[in-house]
A and B are shown apart, each in its own frame.
Chain A
Amino acid sequence: MKKRIYLTYPKELVKEPFIYQAAKLFKVATNIRQASVSDSLGLVALELEGEPEEVEKAINFFIEKGVKVEPIEMDVVE
Chain B
Amino acid sequence: MSYIKALKCRECGREYPKEALHVCEYCFGPLEVAYKYDEIKKSLTKEAITRRPANMWRYRELLPIEGDPTVGAQVGFTPLIRARNLADSLGVKELYIKNDAVNYPTLSFKDRVVSVAISRAREMGFKVVACASTGNLANSVAANAAACGMESYVFIPFDLEQTKILGTLVYGSKVVSIQGTYDEVNRLSSEIAGKYGWAFVNINIRPYYAEGSKSFGFEIAEQLRWKLPRHIVVPMAGGSLITKIWKAFKEFEMLGFVEGIEKTRVYGAQAAGCAPIVTAVKTGSELIKPVRPNTIAKSLAIGNPADGYYSAKVIRESNGWAEDSTDEEIIDAMKLLAETEGVFAETAGGVTLAVTKKLIAQGRIPVDESIVISITGNGLKTQEALQGRLVLPPVINASLKEFDGLVKSLEKKYAARG
> Which residues does A use to contact B, with CB under 8 Å?
4, 8, 33-34, 36, 38, 41, 43, 45, 68-78
Contact = CB atoms under 8 A, between A and B. Distances in A.
B263 interface: no
A75 B238 contact: yes
A8 B290 contact: yes
Contacts of B132: 76-78
Interface residues on B, range: 35 or more
Contacts of B202: 73, 76, 78
Contacts of A34: 27-28
Contacts of A76: 132, 186, 189-190, 193, 200, 202-203, 306
Instruction: Rank and list the top 9 A-B pairs by shortest CB-CB distance, nearest first.
Output: A71-B190, A74-B306, A77-B132, A78-B137, A45-B28, A75-B302, A75-B304, A74-B304, A76-B189
- Best-buried of B133, B134, B237, B290 by chain A (most CB within 10 Å): B290
Contacts of A70: 183, 186-187, 304
B28 A33 contact: yes
B287 A78 contact: no
A69 B290 CA distance: 11
A74 B206 contact: no
Interface in B269-313: 286-287, 289-290, 302-306
B23 interface: yes
B22 interface: yes
A38 B287 CA distance: 10
A72 B28 contact: yes
A2 to B, nearest CB: 10
Given A33-B27, A36-B287, A78-B238, A73 B134 contact: no
B182 interface: yes
A17 to B, nearest CB: 21
16 contacts: A38-B287, A43-B287, A70-B186, A70-B187, A71-B186, A71-B187, A75-B238, A76-B132, A76-B189, A76-B190, A77-B132, A77-B133, A77-B134, A77-B185, A78-B132, A78-B202
Contacts of A75: 186, 238, 302-306
A78 B304 contact: no
B206 A78 contact: no
A78 B28 contact: no
Given A71-B191, A76-B190, 8 more contacts: A43-B287, A73-B22, A73-B306, A75-B306, A76-B306, A77-B157, A78-B134, A78-B237
